[in-house]
A = this chain, B = another copy of it.
């Protein structure tokens, strides 16, 4: 998606350890028009699917998730990262290792909101090693819902998570795919899939 690639080149900042900082438009300050364009593009990609629910994970997935859900005219469900007193009753859980925070945490979704009748599109801002996506896919599988596929804003393809999922037959549509990233020269290269 040209618009997102151009924005990454203009405002993204590359740091050591394969960190791409896009907090001016994607995960701290959010450019709502850009997120809306991502939502529209994902609706085009998945126009053949009758999606009943968008599933994402807090916190930065919620922004892109909302704008995507608007185009599919369905609810957004976000997995929570720790058990709060406001979530009672039965939940689906899975374990996720965080690349950003260097820790493992539980993600939780109430059983009230995912069922075998659902056709789910998983959405997130980033796909690197695929840890968060694997946790969300695990939860979809536990619920018996059908997984239509994944919709990602930025895939860091050189970290391998996206291609591993595709190799398993899971549909992954990423709006910008970064093949490599060079911190020293502050350069990156985009690629495509499919």
A contact set with B: CB distance below 8 Å? 15, 19, 21, 23-25, 27-33, 35-36, 58-59, 62-63, 66-67, 69-70, 73-78, 80, 84-88, 100-102, 109-110, 112-113
Contacts and interface: CB of A to CB of B under 8 A. Distances in A.
Q: How many copies does the complex hold?
A: 2
Contacts of A74: 32
Nearest to A57: B59
Contacts of A33: 73
A28 B69 contact: no
Taking chain A's interface residues, is the majority helix, strand, or loop, or is none over half, making it mixed?
mixed
A7 to B, nearest CB: 13
Contacts of A58: 58-59, 62
A56 to B, nearest CB: 10
Top-8 shortest CB links A-B: A58-B59, A62-B62, A66-B66, A59-B59, A30-B76, A29-B113, A32-B69, A29-B77
